[in-house]
Structure 1
Amino acid sequence: MPRPQPHLEEVLGSEPGPHIAALFDFDGTIIAGYSATAMLREKFQRREMSVEEIAETAQVIAQHSLGNIGFSGLMTAAAKFMKGVDEESFVTFGEELYKKHIARKIYPETRAIIEAHRAKGHRVAIVSSATIYQIEPTARDLGITDIKCSAYEIEDGVFTGEIVRPLCFGEGKVLAAEDLAAEHGLDLDQSFFYSDSDDDIELLERVGKPRPLNPNLKLKAIADERGWPVQRFASRGTPSWVDYTRTIYATGSLVGAFAAGLPIWALTRSQREAVNFSLGLFGDFATAITGVELEVEDERHLWSARPCVFIFNHQSKADVMILAKLIRRDMGAVGKKEIRDIPILGKLMEWGGTVFVDRADGKSAIRAMEPLVDAIRQDGKSICIAPEGTRTLTPKLGAFKKGAFHLAMQAGVPIVPIVIHNATDVAPKNEFVMRPATVRVTVLPPVDTSGWSVRSLASHVREVRNMFLRTLGQAEEEGEVEPAKKPPPGKAAAKPKKAAAKKPSPRKGRTA
């Protein structure tokens, strides 16, 4: 059963309106852990810090931990290392840090709370002591344009080695929130502030609805004393030994599942029946042991138009076991060529009907998929492909490649879109461990491809991608689409819609 989320339920039942603010701390609240720690680790791994800088940084951090220097002293010391550095290089570093470390640390529960506030028309903002370079990429992903944060002084695009005062810390956060309220007509007495630390006690006391998330011991004690509702998330952060055990068993179960199918192959001489048995067994076992529960909408479409080309949005390595549990039998797949080189796993997937392609070579990929047309036409198999080509960092849908659509058109079969809403809750990109979660899946009606042509293919790809975007609640891609040909009797087809205008990109957040 999904864990209760009292903060989310409160927001869903709250008063709507743009006069209410939903303010979020960043480190420990939106993301697990500290972005500054990830930044230092990345710089150290890149060997961009001298021995003297490493020693001085360690000393400053130790002094701050002991309480000998405050946050201002910590930032002042950090600013010294920035002197003479071009700001643009740090913007680039922040983007790289986000892709490599920060994106997978975003709490899915906090994401849901932010989306609920936005649905209520509340003004969502980040108020953090971190810098814009740590925060902005995540804010952009979450659709947050209001950012109040600490800042380094810049002249002519270069850091001066000084800090901008007041810092967005302690009473400085209150000043930042009041500036935001004055800019947008917000009523802080009716507003929310989410934080994990007692360092934010001033702003927690200033708003009408203080809401500790993942609080440290001091904040937990204060919250208990004052009756503030508390919520903790375990979906990110340091994994437990149970999480590692679940993941290892789930991954290894692919070998066990195929081994269990060998007697069927030996006794019946049917590789297909053996693979079907193993595929379903793997999906059932792996989802069960990782604690992944599926909420599937319109599951009937999985069976109404086979053989077909199943396409899905690729968010997580957990997608493999989710699709195995859903599709179960008579399935082939396409995977990146690197998987073939993984010992045992690559051979098992190849035996199970996976075709490996070089994503960097479009012509090679098309040639490699030619046997799949025969598998569909002659063997009646359905093929499963991720048109994005790779996993996305967040639940936001990536661009679609045309390979799956060419395949369906050549084989003369429909496309069945499988929309996975939140597999990142289980395991985001770059994360090894899989954690328990309830994953929502929507299976859309089969899309007839009999009237498609190479000339109109781009339009049809956009049309199908917009189906995913609508289902995920994301902004649709602009452009006209050609009406789909009316399907023959007995075949279902999705009704096309004209794509909505693309929403404008959010402006870059301003520092405090």
Structure 2
Amino acid sequence: MYVSYTEIIFAFSILLLPFLYETSQAFRYYLKFVTYVVVVSFIALILTPVFIFRIKNVRNLVIASYLCRHVSTLIGLKWILRGRKHLEKDASYIIVSNHQSALDVLGMFDLWPVMDKCTVVAKKEILYAWPFGLAAWLCGLIFIDRMNSEKARTTMKEAAEWIKSKNTKLWVFPEGTRHNTGELHPFKKGAFHLAISAQIPILPVVYSQYYFLDDANRRFDHGKIMITALPPIPTAGLTAKDVDSLIEKTRSMMAPVFYESSKEVMRSLGV
């Protein structure tokens, strides 16, 4: 039986993969992120024809989550939710969450069946990353142009009025840039101005630290993450003058939970 060099190289590559996965930290890091991107993009591609008949329906995200949440298992992540009762209420909230990595989205896929109606504020550049960007648009994500602050404010104001009328939640990462440094970084004011102007409560959500991830050293191990939804913070009666105090109140609730939940997870794993 004739065997081509191509077949030999392919077979050798397949046999080499487990060895590289176990022995190379960098290979494991890149393989997990590639798996994440490829699988989610494939799911976006196959669901797009379904979403076309439900344009900008935020419950499309619930459908997507039932498939995408399995990516966490593939790359060795386990999400644990506390405070479920706060997320499952049929009410409008501005959800503010700490932002550590693109992996945060996988945690959200675990939460969407609980939240039911929730959309996300995302940077405009994601819209052009097809097929994911197209599927995200069909799911009703709110895209903002961070280079045009006036247009961004207008978009956010319209989004706030829409979610209020539809009893929908709006997820915002107030830190802006991702920071996996073991601490909460300063919050930008946009989400809090929005919550006050629309008189929508703030709902803090805290991810425990990604101790298993180190981008600088290309390390991505198996991990467990605790997500804690805290009681909503009312904004009724507040004005623009109260933005700073609202930010401080929100951070003062989130910071202790971030540190304690991170310690709890690491203690449970003996890290």
The whole-number CA distance in structure 2 between the counterparts of 1:300 and 1:244 is 36
The whole-number CA distance in structure 1 between the counterparts of 2:217 and 2:198 is 36
CA contact (8 A) 1:318 1:434 kept: no
Match of 1:247 among 7, 20, 33: 33
The whole-number CA distance in structure 2 between the counterparts of 1:416 and 1:461 is 12
Match of 1:270 among 32, 49, 54: 54
Structure 1 unaligned blocks of 5 or more: 1-233, 475-512
Match of 1:374 among 158, 161, 167: 161
The structure number with the bigger radius of gyration is 1
Question: Aligned pair in 2 of structure 1 residues 462, 360: CA closer, same or farther (>3 Å)?
Answer: farther
Shift, 1:429, TM fit:
5.3
Query: What are the within-5 Å matches in structure 2 for residues 442-461 of structure 1?
Result: 442-461=228-247
The whole-number CA distance in structure 2 between the counterparts of 1:292 and 1:393 is 16
Query: What are the within-5 Å matches in structure 2 for residues 209-224 of structure 1?
Result: none
Structure 2 unaligned blocks of 5 or more: 1-20, 261-271
The secondary structure found in structure 2 opposite 1:413 is coil
The secondary structure found in structure 1 opposite 2:183 is coil
The whole-number CA distance in structure 2 between the counterparts of 1:338 and 1:431 is 27
Which residue is 1:391 aligned to?
178
CA contact (8 A) 2:48 2:135 kept: no
Which residue is 2:4 aligned to?
none
CA contact (8 A) 2:179 2:185 kept: yes
Greater relative CO, 1 or 2 (CA 8 Å, sep 6+) = 2
The question of 1:312 aligning with 2:97 is answered: yes
Given the two structures, how large is their TM-score scaled by the length of structure 1? 0.42
The whole-number CA distance in structure 2 between the counterparts of 1:427 and 1:353 is 30
Query: What are the within-5 Å matches in structure 2 for residues 89-488 of structure 1?
Result: 238-241=25-28, 243-262=29-48, 264-265=50-51, 269-271=53-55, 272=57, 273-282=59-68, 284-304=69-89, 306-328=91-113, 329-422=116-209, 424-428=210-214, 434-473=220-259
The whole-number CA distance in structure 2 between the counterparts of 1:254 and 1:334 is 19
The secondary structure found in structure 2 opposite 1:374 is helix
Amino acid at match of 1:389: G
Amino acid at match of 1:307: S
The secondary structure found in structure 1 opposite 2:166 is coil
CA RMSD of aligned residues (A): 2.9
The whole-number CA distance in structure 2 between the counterparts of 1:434 and 1:356 is 29
Shift, 1:260, TM fit:
4.5
Shift, 1:274, TM fit:
3.5
The whole-number CA distance in structure 1 between the counterparts of 2:123 and 2:215 is 15
Query: How many correspondences in the alignment?
Result: 236
The secondary structure found in structure 2 opposite 1:339 is helix
Report the structure, 1 or 2, having the larger helix content: 2
Amino acid at match of 2:197: Q
The one-character-per-residue Cα deviations of 1:76-96 (angstroms, maximum 9, x if unpaired) are xxxxxxxxxxxxxxxxxxxxx
Shift, 1:383, TM fit:
0.8
Amino acid at match of 1:333: V
Shift, 1:363, TM fit:
3.1
Shift, 1:353, TM fit:
2.1
Shift, 1:434, TM fit:
4.7
The whole-number CA distance in structure 2 between the counterparts of 1:431 and 1:354 is 32
Identity across aligned pairs (percent)? 24
Shift, 1:420, TM fit:
0.8
Question: Aligned pair in 2 of structure 1 residues 257, 331: CA closer, same or farther (>3 Å)?
Answer: farther
Question: Aligned pair in 2 of structure 1 residues 412, 318: CA closer, same or farther (>3 Å)?
Answer: same
The whole-number CA distance in structure 2 between the counterparts of 1:345 and 1:430 is 26
